[in-house]
Structure 1
Amino acid sequence: MRVFSKQRRFYLLKKKLSTYLVYALGEIVLIVFGILFALQIANWNQDKNDQQKVQAWRIKLTAEFEQNQLAVEQAIKDLTTVTGELSAFLSLMGPEPEIAEDNKIYNYIAVYFWNPSYTPRTIVFDQFVDSGDIDLLNDLVLKDALLEWKTAIRNNQMLVESISSHQDTMAEGWQDLYRWKSSIAMTGWIKHMPESQFPFDQNALLSSPALENAVSMKLILTEMQRLNVQTAKRQQANILSLLMGG
């Protein structure tokens, strides 16, 4: 650059303006080229750092989603158990209900109030999104899959809350027919609780339209939840495949 400056001064003193302008232009071109080259190097370094950061996130996300796949399997089993038990419970109901052991009725009603759900671990995922590093993902398919999964999980949680609220409201019509104390004692959840001394009219309970309606609705909603969780399982499997393939 100093050579160009000396040459410009030399030709300027010699009053050779055209040659002076040529050297001045050359100096400007070199300066611009140098700036662009420096910016390119900086961009390369930034891209390298970003991809290293993304790779670190991939490793953490893979571990988290592997744990979620184990948890979702258990959730599906539990929800399948609930739908099966509620179906069996409904088969006993009617104007002239079948007679069953009281213990079986207690267990069916306990299942009615059991709300197994799937709540995946999202610590790493939330940090990835909240930090803004998800925008560093070049794999747009993976990015879309992650965001779609989060939406599905949020929707499923809303369904879980709806089920809990709905079942309690619908139970109001028949809960006075049920020996709550005996049911709790039968489940063994609270030790040293004796059974209720009040009579239990099984026929009145099983012939109640309110009970049939409540159990039917709980069965429908639980089946919807089971299908949602199965969808989440497939989404997670796809995400794991994308994470480990990147």
Structure 2
Amino acid sequence: MIRFFRKIRLESLSLGKTKKYLQYALGEIILVVIGILIAIQINEWNQNRIEKKQYAIILQNLEDEFNQTKTLLTTLTSHYTSGIQASSKLMHQFGSDQKIYSVPQIDTLLALSMQQPPFYPPQPVLAELMNSGKLKSLSNKELKQHLFDWEANVRWLHFDYDLFISFSNDQFQPYINKKWSWKNIDLAEGNEFHDARSTLLDTDIYGIFQELEFENLIDSNLFHSNRLYKRLVNIGILIDNILKQIEVSLQD
């Protein structure tokens, strides 16, 4: 079409038809501009299509990542639930004249009560989103807010976990070192490097449950475990919200 206009324009010029020449010259310019605009539009469309595809891939990878995190969280929550139940049972033995639990049962309860699994899920996709600044470009505002909330929730969990570890290392375990047998606790956990229980415990094994210090330690252990459990539950709710909004974004 442009070649056609150019041919007519040149013929008009040779015949001295200046007005007609200008008209066809203008038409040629308009066609060129239209062609450029169409090319720009096609390029933008292709770019948007590529970006949308990349966005979908990121969301799918993020979904896989949080599903794996959810599996890890379920396992951890189960461990802390067992620890809370064990500490609660030990609390029943304090001040009682009855031997509510046998010594091997107490070994098992102590082992369960001291479970302290950390929560450090690998999240390279989320880390890339945050470090690259791409998180701010997410079109789903709810998803974006949930992901910002995620970072804060995990930070608080780690803060409480560090407090739990400090309590255990500085207070609980030193007391167990003096008053109970780690060997027996190891056996209760199923470790196979011991073939017999310790014979070095005091004959009055249940006397430890008449000590206020031990009761306070078990109670504090229960407090820390329960606080972490609640943090994990809240994080689980947040994961469900994140996965829901990812699904919404993938369907748009």
Deviation at 1:71, TM superposition (A): 2.6
The size of the alignment, in residue pairs, is: 240
Deviation at 1:132, TM superposition (A): 3.1
Deviation at 1:40, TM superposition (A): 6.2
Q: How does 1:174-185 map to 2 (within 5 A)?
A: 174-175=175-176, 176-185=178-187
| 1:105 aligned residue | 106
Task: Please give the per-residue CA displacement for 1:85-107, whole angstroms capped at 9, x wherever unaligned.
Answer: 1001011012x553231101111
User: Are the structure 2 counterparts of residues 172 and 73 from structure 1 closer, same or farther at C-alpha, using a change threshold of 3 Å?
Assistant: closer
Which among 226, 230, 235 is matched to residue 232 of structure 1?
235
Task: Please give the per-residue CA displacement for 1:195-219, whole angstroms capped at 9, x wherever unaligned.
Answer: 2221333233111212111111111
User: In 2, distance between residues paired with 1:118 and 1:208?
Assistant: 33
- Supply the AA of the counterpart residue of 2:48: D
Greater Cα shift, 191-200 or 105-114? 191-200
Which among 211, 214, 218 is matched to residue 215 of structure 1?
218
- Supply the AA of the counterpart residue of 1:194: A
Deviation at 1:43, TM superposition (A): 4.8
Task: Please give the per-residue CA displacement for 1:41-61, whole angstroms capped at 9, x wherever unaligned.
Answer: 655544333222111101111
User: In 2, distance between residues paired with 1:155 and 1:56?
Assistant: 30
SS of residue in 2 equivalent to 1:174: helix
| 1:196 aligned residue | 198
- Supply the AA of the counterpart residue of 1:237: D
User: In 2, distance between residues paired with 1:111 and 1:195?
Assistant: 18
SS of residue in 1 equivalent to 2:201: coil
Kept after mapping to 2: 8 A contact 1:93/1:212: yes
Runs of at least 5 residues in structure 1 that lack an aligned partner in the other structure: 4-28
| 1:115 aligned residue | 116
Deviation at 1:145, TM superposition (A): 0.8
Task: Please give the per-residue CA displacement for 1:163-211, whole angstroms capped at 9, x wherever unaligned.
Answer: 1111222225632111222322333224244322213332331112121
| 1:8 aligned residue | none
| 2:69 aligned residue | 68
User: In 2, distance between residues paired with 1:33 and 1:211?
Assistant: 85
User: In 1, distance between residues paired with 2:120 and 2:193?
Assistant: 29
Q: Return the TM-score normalized by structure 1.
A: 0.77
User: In 1, distance between residues paired with 2:174 and 2:130?
Assistant: 45
| 1:83 aligned residue | 84
Deviation at 1:80, TM superposition (A): 1.3
Kept after mapping to 1: 8 A contact 2:111/2:188: no
- Supply the AA of the counterpart residue of 1:55: A
- Supply the AA of the counterpart residue of 1:157: H
User: Are the structure 2 counterparts of residues 212 and 36 from structure 1 closer, same or farther at C-alpha, using a change threshold of 3 Å?
Assistant: farther
Q: How does 1:1-246 map to 2 (within 5 A)?
A: 43-94=44-95, 96-99=96-99, 100-171=101-172, 174-175=175-176, 176-200=178-202, 201-245=204-248, 246=251
- Supply the AA of the counterpart residue of 2:144: K
